[in-house]
């Protein structure tokens, strides 16, 4: 039987230390990549709006991740502004019917707190109108007029309340992506958090 030397033991210990260190480093790196990809930016503003309008925080994070990837200065080709990509005509409509005391301008939608407040209120309105998250997301992206038409068409809806198919690929992909991001946020940050779902 071969005798184990001190040098061999030290070498084995060093190898174990290096492997453990690599494992810890990889875990830290993975956590860093995940938190950079799915950040909790604007959590204070999102939590306030979620509480105010009774909308799921993970859903709000999912919409912002999908709409602007957390860029408050984002402007789409169609002219949608800010974190939640609010269209000018939607902003005017909300100012007229839902924000009686508001004197915000389109430029104010670049302010994360203002944009999140308007976007989450819009989500709340659509969730109440349709009673179904996926249909509400389709309306957020594709517009209420289109969704109302699709719900009347047996090709797209069996019951006039939920969509079995979405004729716009962009809207269908949008809905799926938001739901995917929402699911990831729930798994990463809100599982077991009763305040995550309002």
Q: Give catalytic residues, as residue numbers.
A: 67
Which two tokens mark 119? 């976007």
- Tokens standing for 1? 């039987």
**Cα 93 from chain centre:** 23
Class of residue 111 by CB neighbours under 10 A (exposed 0-12, middle 13-18, buried 19+): middle
DSSP class of residue 4 equals: P
Angstrom distance (rounded) from CA 143 to CA 189: 30
- Cβ partners under 8 Å of residue 27, min gap 6: none
**Interacting residues of 73 by C-beta distance below 8 A, sequence separation 6+:** 82, 110
DSSP-derived letter for residue 98 is: T
Burial track 149-167 (b if 16+ CB lie within 10 A, e otherwise): ebbeeeebbeeeeebeebe
- Judged by phi (left if over 0) then psi (alpha if -120 to 50, else beta), residue 63 lies in alpha
């Amino acid at each position: 039987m071969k005798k184990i030397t001190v040098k061999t033991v030290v070498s084995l210990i060093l190898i174990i230390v290096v492997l453990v260190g690599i494992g810890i480093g990889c875990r830290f790196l993975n956590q860093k990549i995940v938190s950079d990809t799915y950040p909790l930016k604007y959590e204070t503003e999102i939590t306030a709006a979620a509480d105010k309008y009774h909308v799921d925080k993970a859903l709000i994070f999912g919409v912002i991740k999908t709409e602007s990837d957390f860029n408050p200065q984002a402007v789409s080709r169609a002219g949608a502004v800010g974190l939640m990509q609010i269209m000018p005509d939607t902003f005017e409509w909300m100012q007229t019917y839902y924000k009686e005391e508001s004197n915000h301008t389109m430029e104010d939608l670049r302010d994360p707190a203002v944009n999140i407040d308007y976007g989450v209120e819009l989500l709340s309105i659509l969730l109440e109108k349709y009673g179904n998250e996926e249909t509400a997301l389709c309306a957020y992206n594709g517009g209420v007029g289109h969704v109302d038409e699709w719900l009347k068409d047996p090709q797209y809806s069996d019951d006039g309340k939920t969509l079995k198919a979405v004729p716009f690929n962009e809207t269908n992909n949008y809905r799926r992506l938001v739901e995917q991001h929402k699911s990831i946020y729930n798994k990463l940050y809100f599982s077991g958090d009763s305040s995550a779902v309002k």
